[in-house]
Structure 1
Amino acid sequence: MAAATTAGVDVARTGREPARRRRVHGEVPRAQRASLVSRTAVATALTVLAALWLTPLLWALLTSFKAEADTTTVPLEVVPDAGFTAEAYTRVLSNDNILTWFANSTIVTVVVTVLTLALSTTAAYGFSRTRFRGRNVLFALTIAGIMVPPQILVVPLYQQVTAMGLADTYAGIILPQLVVPAMVFILKKFFDGIPPELEEAARVDGASAFRIFWQVVMPLSRSIVAAVGIFVFIGAWNNFLWPFIIISDPDLMTLPVGLVQVRSSFGIQYAQVMASALLAGLPLIIIFMLFQRQIVRGVATTGLGGT
């Protein structure tokens, strides 16, 4: 009875019912309505962007299952009258060069990823923990390398690699890809966030600098190292420009370069090209699905906001 009297007084004074009674009557507070509208707008925008991103992929998938004659019909047909066929995949997989190019891409990508992680982690740890003259200048030059488009370096890199006799070799493909300033910066920012007291305790126990780096710092950095490794792997696997320039031997071509060679006397075989491209992207999709948690965790804990 007293509660009802109090509620009546509140309504008489303010002209409004208490928030609890408004919720009971089914009314949604203004803040909740605004939040619902914003979430709906974001979901709609993300759905549209996802549809725009998936449309070319869906078209490539449909084209890969068409006969070659149906890929160039005018007007274009989403579903051909003759139906779908896996002939393009059969021809691609029966081509020995595809397997060679796939093996070359695997070798190059794995070596680039491993060596890049080794160089980037040690360089980033050195910038984070070591104090030496010119450290800030050297780190600034490293960061400046992020702003240099890789296309500008193609000509001097080509001259240097050919002068060393590394053209048409695995080393010629791999070595110019090992320095990635962006990854050094990301790793350095993460190492800055690791408490130095952990390293000081290990140093008091007699651990060497390398042992501290390998047994203390690296186990704490698994998430960011995994994320960086996946980014480097994807970049090396998809790299087309540099292998295309430095390699002319078909037996040493990587998969992105080899796909350009999927031609016949009748011109480009679009169904085979699409089938080859989807097969080439399949390893990346699998890796991302397996390690997406590490990617998100690594990016979230990078500490780019300042540590």
Structure 2
Amino acid sequence: MKWVYRILSLIAAFFFLAPLVWMLIVSIKQEGMKIVTLVDWFTPPYSFAVYDEILSTTKLMNWTFNSFFVAVCVTILTVAVAAMASFAISKIPFRYRTAMFFFVLAGLLIPGEAVIIPLYQVAKDMNILNSYQGLILPALASPVAVIVLKSFFDGVPNELVESVQIDGAGVWRIFWSIMLPLTRPALASMAILTFIGSWNNFLWPFLSVTDDNLFTLPMGIPTLMNQYSEDYVKPMVINTLSSLPILLLFIVFERQIVKGISLTGIKG
């Protein structure tokens, strides 16, 4: 039966990789090539001239930097805030701790679109629209990260925490030296998933940014696609350049991404 599963896996991999391969090949075709049959998409001549044109005449690299910078900041701050919040709910006894957990849990029941208008009004009152702060700060609240990390902190025996407290360690020492190293796999998984979510975020940047110098890739790419709606090569070049960073991230952190999906129960 193993060879049957291998064949089915290869077939599935082919269907998933075929659009990617097609995009890469079309991106190095020459502009204005006549396409009559399917074979014409894959035949020479090839050229990287369109890559040079896109990189020199558009703000694609600037938008890539914006996406990367915002995603890195959101990832670091979100994981830090979620780790501290989940540690407090899991290991620090305080009044209404259970109520606080259910309050965070209720955040999963509210779709992001339902709070987008009040969120925009708050950002406007804080005067952070059209800025990196406006792109980063509203994305830091992550109930999923808090709940997932809390489940890992709950798995650490309370006896271990109590023994460290007897030795004189404070709350911050316990959090930094004991809890974080033990939950490193969960932290890595949540960091990767948070990075991908921020990288692909479209709605909030679309509402909070009007300066094209601050556009992220999900915002900037559609504006370029409208300019090249009758061409095939340039849109494929744009998609290839914008996809490379996240493809490299997936190749490097494939195991952590799969583990993160299994930990959070996210599908799709």
- TM-score tier (shorter): 0.7 to 0.9
CA contact (8 A) 1:64 1:272 kept: yes
Is residue 82 of structure 2 the alignment partner of residue 120 of structure 1? yes
Select 1:173's aligned residue among 118, 132, 135.
Answer: 135
CA contact (8 A) 2:228 2:235 kept: no
Shift of 1:298: 5.8
| Counterparts of 2:163 and 2:233, CA distance in 1 | 61
Give 3-state SS (helix, strand or coil) of 1:283's partner.
Answer: helix
Distance 1:266 1:130, change over 3 A: closer
Distance 1:253 1:66, change over 3 A: same
Partner of 1:271: 233
| Counterparts of 2:241 and 2:216, CA distance in 1 | 14
| Counterparts of 1:203 and 1:133, CA distance in 2 | 20
Which structure would you say has the larger Rg? 1
Partner of 1:64: 27
Is residue 172 of structure 2 the alignment partner of residue 210 of structure 1? yes
Select 1:254's aligned residue among 199, 211, 216.
Answer: 216
Give 3-state SS (helix, strand or coil) of 1:229's partner.
Answer: helix
Partner of 2:70: 108
Give 3-state SS (helix, strand or coil) of 2:156's partner.
Answer: coil
Distance 1:207 1:147, change over 3 A: same
How many correspondences in the alignment? 265
Report the residue type matching 1:283 in the other structure: P
Distance 1:266 1:235, change over 3 A: closer
Partner of 2:150: 188
Greater shift after overlay, 155-164 or 108-117?
Answer: 155-164
CA contact (8 A) 2:71 2:199 kept: yes
Give 3-state SS (helix, strand or coil) of 1:262's partner.
Answer: helix
Shift of 1:213: 0.2
| Counterparts of 2:82 and 2:40, CA distance in 1 | 46
After superposition, the C-alpha distances for 1:51-109 in whole angstroms (9 at most, x for unaligned) are: 332232222222212234348x4666552666332222121222351221122112211
Partner of 2:18: 55
| Counterparts of 1:123 and 1:253, CA distance in 2 | 31
Give the aligned CA root-mean-square deviation in angstroms: 2.6
Shift of 1:231: 0.8
Give 3-state SS (helix, strand or coil) of 1:261's partner.
Answer: helix
| Counterparts of 2:217 and 2:264, CA distance in 1 | 35
After superposition, the C-alpha distances for 1:128-178 in whole angstroms (9 at most, x for unaligned) are: 113333322332232232233323332222222223222111111111111
Q: Kindly indicate whether structure 1 or structure 2 has the higher relative contact order, using CA contacts under 8 Å at least 6 residues apart.
A: 2
Partner of 2:200: 238
After superposition, the C-alpha distances for 1:226-275 in whole angstroms (9 at most, x for unaligned) are: 11111111111121221122111011111221112215766464422222
* Identical-residue share of aligned pairs (%): 37
For structure 1, which runs of at least 5 residues remain unmatched after alignment?
Answer: 1-35
Distance 1:265 1:281, change over 3 A: closer
TM-score, reference length from structure 1: 0.76
